[in-house]
Chain A
Amino acid sequence: MSIFIDKNTRVVVQGLTGREGQFHALRNRDYGTQVVAGTRPGKGGEDVQGIPIFNSVEEAVKATGANTAMTFVPPAFAKDAVLEAAIAGCELIVCITEGIPAKDEAEMYDILKHTTNAKLLGPNCPGLISPGKSNVGIMPHEITKEGTVGVVSRSGTLTYQAVHELTKLEIGQSTCIGIGGDPVPGMSFIDVLTAFEDDEQTNAIVMIGEIGGSAEEEAAEFIKHNISKPVVSYIAGVTAPPGKKMGHAGAIVSGNKGTAKAKIEALTEAGVKVVKNPTQIGTAIKDVI
C-alpha cells in the first residue's frame, strides 16, 4: 500500500499543452504513472504524444476513467480548474500552480470542503510520489527508493533533500508528499499523518516544516494523541530574521507566533525526534526503525 496514489491512479493533466505541464506529465508517464488524459479548452480531440486531450475534465473523466487531476494552469485560472476537476468527480486534485492569490485559495478550499469529497493537495506544491508505483507531480523520482518511510513536507527542495538523505542510507519511502507552503493549503500535515498512520506500508514518518503559521504546532498536538509510528522532524528557518518574508507566502514570522523555536518545542514535547540539520534526517530515521 501507499497513500493517496498507487498503480491504479489514473491522471488527467489540466494544462497538458503548456511547457511545464507537458514536461512533467511525460516524465510521470515514463515513470509508470497512468497519465490517461489532458485538458485544454478548444483543443479537444488532439493529443500530446499519445495522451488524448479533452475540452473539459468532465469529458476526460467519462472517456478515460481518470480519478486524479494534476493542475498546471496559470494562477488566474487555477481556482476554476480545481473546482472543475472536483465537480467532474476527481477524488484527488494535485495543484502544482504557484502564485495563486490567497483569496482564490481560501474560496476554493471553502467550496471544496462544503460541496465535494475531493482531496486537494497544494496549491504551490511539488505533488507526491509513491516510489515504484506512481509519481503525480514534479518530484525527481531518481532520488527515491521504494520502502517504508512516509515523508511529508511544506517545502519542495527540502523534501528532495530529506528523501536524498534516506535513499543514501538505503532507506526507502512509502510515499513522499509536498503539501505546499501557501497560506491555505488543501491537505494539512494532519491529513497526511492520519493517512500514514493507517497505511500498512509505512512504519516511520519524516515531517519537514518551516517557520510561519501554526501547522506544525497543530501537527504536534495531533501526533501526541493519534500517531503511534515514530516521527522524525526538521524545521527550517531557525535563523530567519523576524518580520522578513523569505519566499514562501507561508513563511512569515510575526511576533513569537510561528517561530522555529515554538515549533521545535511543540514537536519535541509530542515525542517527535527533531533534528537540527536536514542531513541528519537519514540517521535519525535509522535509529527509530
Chain B
Amino acid sequence: MNLFEYQGKKLYERYSIPTPSSFFIKNLEDLNNHKSFIFPLVVKAQVQVGGRGKAGGIKLVTSLDELKNAVNEILGMDIKGHKVESLLIEEASTILKEYYISFTLDRSAKKYLMLLSAKGGMDIEEVAEKNPEDLIKVYISPSQGLSEDTVTDAINDAKLDPEFKNELKDIILKLYHLFIAGDCDLVEVNPLAITNNGVLALDSKISLDMNAEYRHEEFSTFEAEIPIPEAEAFAKSKGLNFIKLDGSVGIIGNGAGLVMSTLDVVSEHGGEAANFLDIGGGAKAETVTSALEVLESDSNVKSVLINIFGGITRCDLVADGIIEATKGKLLKWPIIVRLDGTNAKEGLEILRNHENEKIIISESMDDAAKLAVTESQ
C-alpha cells in the first residue's frame, strides 16, 4: 500500500528521522487551527503521483495571504488524473545539497538493496540510465542487516559531503530501521537534503507490506485515509480482490494467475475485461454472491464470465453462490460459467437443475471466453 507523503512523515517522526516540521490540512478552514505561522512555508499537494512540483502542486509562500491563495489554488487541482484533496504545509528549508536514498527488496538477488546518490532532487531513473556510476548500490543480507561501516563506505563512494558524514550516517541507519521494523516494501527519500537546518528527509515515498498488517496498528489507520473507489471498497469488505478496468466483460475467477489469464484470453478473442476479480481460494457461496453484486454496480458490464478451477475452492459451492445471487432476479447480462476441478460435476448439476436462460454453461475456458466476448458486443 502506497502512503501519502504526510503519512510517510508520521512514520519519520516515529522513527526519529529528521524532517521539517509540518501540518496537514484538507480545506482552508483547517488553517484556523493554527494561531501563527513562521514563514516561509511550503504548500505541498498530497497526491500519489510524481512530478507534482512541475504541475504546480508545490508552492513557496512568505505571507498569510500567499498561503491562503496557494491553498485555494492547489486544493482541487488535477495532477495527472489525481485530484488534490489535501495539503501538507511545511517549514521551508534552504537547500544546500540534494541527495537520493532508497531501500527496497531486490527480488532476483533475494537481498535488500540500498541505492544512494549525490544526484538527488531529480529523476533517479534518469541518473541510473545516463550516469550509472553516480548511483551507489549496496546489497544487504536480510539475516545480517546493515552495518555502520557499510554505511560509511557508501557515503564515501557516493561522494556525499564529508562534513556531514555523521549526520548522514545517522539518518541512513534510521531510514533502514524504518524499512525493516516498519515492514516497508519501499522507503525512498528524494531529496535527502543538506539544509540550513541540518540533514533532513524532505520528501517521503513509502510503500507498506500489507502482509505485515497484523503487527502494525498504524497500517489500518493509514489505509482508512487512502480513498478508494466505492466498488473496490465494497469488494474489499467482502474479502474479494477487485480492480476496475475499462471493458465490458465482467470477470470472476479463483486465483490471481487464472484471473489474469482469463483477462488475456478475453482480449485474445477481441473483448475487453471490465474488471479483475479474484474470489481467492476456498470461497464460499456467499463470496460468489458478493462478487456478482460487485459487478452489478458497474454499468459498463455487458456479459459476465465466471472461470473457476477448483482446488481448495469447491465448484458446487460456487454454483450455489451463482443460484443464490440470481434467484428471482431479472439478470441484466448473461453469465457464462466454466467450472473444472474439485466437485465440478456437482456444480454443473446444480446449475443445470436450476434453469435460467441467462446462465450459460461452457465446457472450456477458451469457449467460455469466446462466448462472453460475443455476448458483450
Contact = CB atoms under 8 A, between A and B. Distances in A.
Contacts of A244: 243, 276
Contacts of A20: 282, 312
B interface majority secondary structure: mixed
Given A213-B108, A246-B256, A246-B260, A161 B142 contact: no
B105 A183 contact: yes
B257 A157 contact: yes
Contact of A161 (B143, B215, B281, B365): B365
A236 B257 contact: yes
A240 B275 CA distance: 10
B105 A140 contact: no
A110 B141 contact: yes
B110 A103 contact: no
Interface in A248-277: 248-251, 255, 260, 276-277
Interface stretch (B66-74, B220-228, B261-269, B323-331): B261-269
B214 A161 contact: no
Nearest to A277: B265
A140 B257 contact: no
A237 B310 contact: no
Interface string A172-189: 000000000101100000
B254 interface: yes
B256 A251 contact: yes
Nearest to B366: A279
Nearest to A76: B214
A246 B276 contact: yes
Interface in B232-290: 241, 243, 245, 253-261, 263-268, 273, 276, 278, 281-282
B341 interface: yes
A140 B341 contact: yes
Contacts of B261: 158, 161, 234, 236-237, 278
Contact of B341 (A75, A160, A183, A255): A160
A106 interface: yes
Interface residues of A, number: 60
B170 interface: no
Contacts of A54: none
Interface-central residue, B107, B212, B256, by most chain A CB under 10 Å: B256
Contact of A241 (B211, B245, B266, B342): B245
B99 interface: no
Nearest to A211: B260
A215 to B, nearest CB: 7
B185 A102 contact: yes
Contacts of B97: none
Interface in B150-190: 180, 183, 185
Interface string A104-125: 0011011100100000000000
Contacts of B185: 102
Contacts of A279: 265, 364-366
29 contacts: A75-B211, A102-B105, A102-B185, A110-B141, A114-B143, A140-B310, A140-B311, A140-B341, A142-B342, A155-B255, A156-B311, A160-B309, A161-B258, A164-B341, A181-B256, A184-B105, A184-B110, A210-B260, A213-B107, A213-B108, A214-B108, A238-B264, A238-B267, A246-B259, A247-B256, A251-B256, A277-B265, A278-B265, A279-B364
Given A75-B211, A247-B259, 12 more contacts: A76-B215, A102-B209, A107-B142, A107-B143, A160-B311, A161-B258, A213-B108, A237-B264, A238-B267, A244-B276, A248-B257, A279-B365
